[in-house]
Homo-oligomer: A and B are copies of this chain.
């Protein structure tokens, strides 16, 4: 919640729910990551928030870009990144999209199975590939499934296969889970990565890079480690597993880069009870389908600010659509001031990442979340 954002909202009074992102905070975050991990290259996870102003700022600061699709590759290029600063980090790619990225000059691709290697070998000959391995993700608020990555034993075969297919078997990646609050969560995966490096080295294949993924937490309601704490824990783990043969490293912050740079302005549409004496239901003009998708299963708990200063009591918080699942906090109700009124403005902090793009195109006729980058 920065003064620039508050000033902007006061001055422009935008109609309807909207996200406001403060670029100064993004810049500070980028510089903090650089300081904390000076030996790692930063690949911003574009999917967290692909606003052109953010990409342009980061491109100017020297950031690289982790892209999930050809569309995101194009956004990074338009923002001023050269193709050698782009990673096509999605392990699930249409073969024609690999070809399109290669035609644009992209030479770094994620894989997690031999079939994907074959596609890259056909459409991006000579490119570098890194293999994603499965990782527990314990301690993350937005936990990872087994969707991405393969067993470390299989990763050896996948990278060997890539080498034999004429690609550069370049490294190993993993992801410890988004909003990972344990800086030591990287340790086990780094041990696996080091083991893969050793086995392949014995076969004459020298891997070069470890992609440490994202997972760096942003501040919601609870305290989180600073960039420095992450950096220290990760560097210690790298040294303990790789000894003196340190690999190149990449990090892919998304939420950690932009989460705390954004604030959503919302309006209270209705306050009601289901029966006399029941808990209050507070309905906002924003919900699961126009920006707050990450409240799914009440995973992410955002700080919510009101100008009212009355005593607070727990409320169920819900969105504006005619959809019964569009309820944000119910299992663990959210304390809001008892003197809150219909028409009041609420500010939802920490919403710079994973909000605008999750927004549905027109569910219930409501427009997607507006965004202002200042």
Contact string against B for A residues 244-284, beta-carbon threshold 8 Å, 1 for contact and 0 otherwise: 00000000000000000000000101111111101001010
Contact with B along A360-374 (1 / 0, CB 8 A): 111111111000000
Q: Is A351 an interface residue when CB atoms closer than 8 A count as contact?
A: no
Q: Is the CB of B365 within 8 A of A272?
A: no
Q: Which residues of B contact A327 (CB under 8 A)?
A: 145, 147
Interface flags for A289-332 (1: CB within 8 Å of B; 0: not) read 10001001000000000000000000000101111111100100
Q: Mark A131-160, 1 if CB is under 8 A from B, else 0.
A: 000100000001111111111011000000
- A365, closest chain B residue (CB): B71
Min CB distance, A355 to chain B, in Å?
11
Q: Please state if A322 and B68 are interface contacts (CB–CB under 8 Å).
A: yes
Most buried by B among A46, A274, A330, A356: A274
Smallest Cβ distance from A100 to chain B, in angstroms?
Answer: 12
Residues of B within 8 A of A357 (CB): 360-364
Closest CB-CB distance, A133 to chain B, in whole Å? Answer: 10
What is the bound-complex CA distance between A113 and B270, given in angstroms? 9
A109 CB–B CB distance under 8 Å:
no
Contacts of A94 in B (CB 8 A): 267, 269, 285
A99 beta carbon closer than 8 Å to chain B: no
Contact (Cβ within 8 A) B149 A270: no
Q: How far is the CB of A179 from chain B (nearest CB, A)?
A: 12
Interface string of A105-120 (1 = CB under 8 A from B): 0000000110110010
Considering the chains assembled together, what is the distance between the CA atoms of A149 and B275 in angstroms? 10
Chain B residues within 8 Å of A75, by CB: 365
From known contacts A144-B324, A147-B327, A267-B94, infer whether A69 and B275 are also in contact, taking CB-CB under 8 Å: no
How far is it, in angstroms, between the C-alpha of A342 and the C-alpha of B98 when the chains are bound? 14
Please state if A358 and B363 are interface contacts (CB–CB under 8 Å): yes
Q: Are A147 and B269 in contact (CB under 8 A)?
A: no
A58 CB-CB contact with B under 8 Å: no
Decide if A275 touches B154 in the complex (CB within 8 Å): yes
A364 and B90 contacting across the interface, CB-CB below 8 Å? yes
Known: A71-B362, A367-B71. A322 touches B270 (CB 8 A): no
- Complex Cα distance, B360 from A343, in Å, reads 27
Tell me whether A70 and B144 are in contact in the complex, defined as CB-CB below 8 angstroms, given that A115-B270, A274-B149 are known contacts: no
Q: Which residues of B contact A359 (CB under 8 A)?
A: 360-361
How many angstroms between the C-alpha atoms of A60 and B322 in the bound complex? Answer: 25
A208 within 8 A of B: no
Contact between chains at B271 and A343 (CB < 8 Å): no
Q: Tell me, in angstroms, the Cα distance from A363 to B360 when the chains sit together.
A: 9
Name, among A50, A281, A327, the residue most crowded by chain B CB atoms within 10 Å (CB to CB): A281
**Can you give 17 contacting A-B residue pairs, CB < 8 Å?**
A45-B322, A47-B322, A68-B321, A68-B322, A72-B364, A92-B318, A92-B320, A95-B343, A116-B272, A149-B274, A150-B273, A150-B275, A151-B274, A153-B275, A154-B274, A358-B360, A360-B360
Going nearest first, the 6 A-B pairs with the smallest beta carbon separation are: A71-B365, A113-B272, A151-B275, A69-B365, A68-B364, A72-B365
